[in-house]
């Protein structure tokens, strides 16, 4: 039985992490939760029948000595709590983005290695029917020659307004780092993790006074206990981003990511390779001179809008038992983190930024 502790009791801890561990109650036992907001910690513990709650993560880690810790704090705190949990002897499932600089991500994975523990980024959006089907196709058909890609992740009106996603010093970025990272992770995974060479990107803010529903802004269950007052004047991150990523193998990817935009909603990935092209979410494959086929989208094993977290919790228990390798690999997360860092540096400098620049 793996003893689990959860750091922070916000939307994603309540809606996704706790239910995911509970799906495998034969292997996981949630011992305690923690939040700097005592009310949030108490209510979360009571709601889910978790025996203990804390307001101090370090105290929780010392007293509970968990095998597994979920780090569900806002982005700017991911590194400090991940390092704290690893040093306390726990394996860590850390929410995305694991880190916002390559150096931070590297430090986190190096610490995991030093401690002999597993650290996995919670890239839960690989586990959609179309992306799982595409991955199966790519693996079965040896599609390793993708030279062009596009990704579009667009919400019509979906600025997350229940927490601190819109405040740069806490979230470390806007739409790109929040929802773009999921698409980027899925795309890099499907492309076989080619190494990034340069990024050219733009960030913009156009719709900060226009909010949508909770669900359309990412609280997919519609459940948020504690909605922080949204003040548009506090919003200092992008609601729209676009750009181009060049990889060392010669491949190029163009992207647009928006929390709010006047164009159709999208969660599209398009890949073009010499052997085949793959269009998602339609699950269309184009190969040969005029070949076109539909691949069968994968039926998800779990009936939940946060099914991805269940896949990750399942994978993690198998990793800890020595049965499987981590499904989200450190080298993939390091590459994605590098792209994030280059993207924001490019947007700030107003020019293409290369990975080998100092």
Binding residues for ligand NAD, per CB under 6 A? 7-13, 35-37, 40, 72-75, 77, 95-96, 122, 124, 162-164, 178, 218
Quick one: 187 or 251, whose CB is closer to ligand NAD? 187
> Smallest gap, in angstroms, from Cβ of residue 272 to ligand NAD?
28
Quick one: 160 or 330, whose CB is closer to ligand NAD? 160
The residue whose Cβ lies closest to ligand NAD is 10
**What is the distance between the alpha carbons of residues 115 and 243, in angstroms, rounded to a whole number?**
38
Query: Do the beta carbons of residue 312 and residue 16 sit within 8 Å?
Result: no
Query: Do the beta carbons of residue 118 and residue 191 sit within 8 Å?
Result: no
Quick one: 23 or 178, whose CB is closer to ligand NAD? 178
> Smallest gap, in angstroms, from Cβ of residue 227 to ligand NAD?
9
Quick one: 143 or 152, whose CB is closer to ligand NAD? 152
Quick one: 172 or 242, whose CB is closer to ligand NAD? 172
Distance set, CA 310 to CA 18, 21, 107 (Å): 10, 7, 27
Residues listed for the chain: 358
> Smallest gap, in angstroms, from Cβ of residue 25 to ligand NAD?
22
Query: Do the beta carbons of residue 246 and residue 126 sit within 8 Å?
Result: no
> Smallest gap, in angstroms, from Cβ of residue 339 to ligand NAD?
16
Quick one: 2 or 127, whose CB is closer to ligand NAD? 127
**What is the distance between the alpha carbons of residues 39 and 47, in angstroms, rounded to a whole number?**
12
Instruction: Find, among 324, 262, 257, the residue nearest to 120 by Cα.
Output: 324
Quick one: 67 or 178, whose CB is closer to ligand NAD? 178
> Smallest gap, in angstroms, from Cβ of residue 128 to ligand NAD?
11
Q: What Rg, from alpha-carbon coordinates, does the chain have? A: 20
> Smallest gap, in angstroms, from Cβ of residue 286 to ligand NAD?
30
Encoded tokens for 273: 């390779």
Encoded tokens for 28: 């996981």
DSSP-derived letter for residue 157 is B
Contacts of 74 (CB under 8 A, 6+ apart): 8, 163, 164, 165, 170, 171
> Smallest gap, in angstroms, from Cβ of residue 304 to ligand NAD?
12
> Smallest gap, in angstroms, from Cβ of residue 261 to ligand NAD?
20
Residue 97: cis peptide before it, omega within 30 degrees of 0: yes
Query: Do the beta carbons of residue 28 and residue 4 sit within 8 Å?
Result: yes
Quick one: 113 or 223, whose CB is closer to ligand NAD? 223
Dihedral of the alpha carbons of 134, 138, 144, 147, in degrees to the nearest 10: -20
> Smallest gap, in angstroms, from Cβ of residue 55 to ligand NAD?
8
Quick one: 285 or 334, whose CB is closer to ligand NAD? 334
Quick one: 137 or 311, whose CB is closer to ligand NAD? 311
Which class for 147: exposed (0-12), middle (13-18), buried (19 or more C-beta within 10 A)? middle
């Amino acid at each position: 039985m793996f003893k689990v502790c959860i750091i922070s009791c916000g939307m994603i801890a309540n809606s996704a992490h706790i239910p995911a561990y509970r799906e495998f109650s034969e292997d996981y036992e949630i011992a305690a939760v923690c939040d700097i907001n005592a009310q949030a910690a108490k209510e979360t513990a009571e709601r889910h029948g978790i025996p203990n709650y804390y307001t101090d993560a370090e105290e929780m880690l010392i007293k509970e000595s968990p095998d597994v810790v979920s780090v569900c704090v806002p982005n700017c705190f991911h590194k400090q709590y991940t390092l704290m949990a690893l040093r306390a002897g726990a394996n860590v499932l850390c929410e995305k983005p694991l880190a916002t600089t390559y150096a931070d991500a590297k430090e986190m994975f190096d610490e995991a290695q030093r401690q002999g523990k597993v650290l996995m980024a919670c890239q839960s959006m690989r586990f959609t029917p179309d992306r799982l089907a595409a991955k199966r196709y790519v693996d079965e058909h040896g599609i390793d020659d993708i030279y062009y890609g596009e990704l579009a992740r667009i919400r019509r009106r979906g600025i997350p307004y229940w927490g601190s996603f819109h405040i740069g010093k806490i979230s470390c970025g806007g739409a790109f780092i929040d929802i773009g990272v999921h698409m980027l992770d899925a795309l890099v995974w499907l492309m076989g993790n080619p190494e990034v060479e340069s990024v050219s990107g733009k960030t913009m803010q156009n719709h900060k006074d226009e909010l949508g529903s909770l669900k359309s802004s990412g609280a997919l269950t519609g459940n948020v206990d504690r909605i922080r007052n949204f003040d548009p004047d506090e919003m200092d991150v992008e609601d729209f981003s676009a750009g181009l990523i060049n990889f060392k193998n010669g491949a190029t990817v163009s992207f647009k990511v928006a929390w709010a935009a006047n164009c159709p909603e999208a969660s599209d990935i398009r890949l073009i390779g010499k052997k085949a092209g793959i269009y998602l979410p339609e699950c269309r494959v184009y190969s040969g001179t005029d070949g076109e086929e539909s691949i069968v989208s994968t039926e998800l094993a779990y009936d939940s809008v946060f099914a991805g977290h269940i896949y990750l919790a399942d994978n993690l228990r198998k990793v800890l038992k020595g049965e499987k390798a981590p499904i989200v690999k450190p080298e993939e997360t390091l590459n994605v983190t590098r792209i994030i860092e280059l993207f924001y540096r490019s947007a700030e400098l107003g020019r293409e930024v290369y990975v080998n620049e100092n």
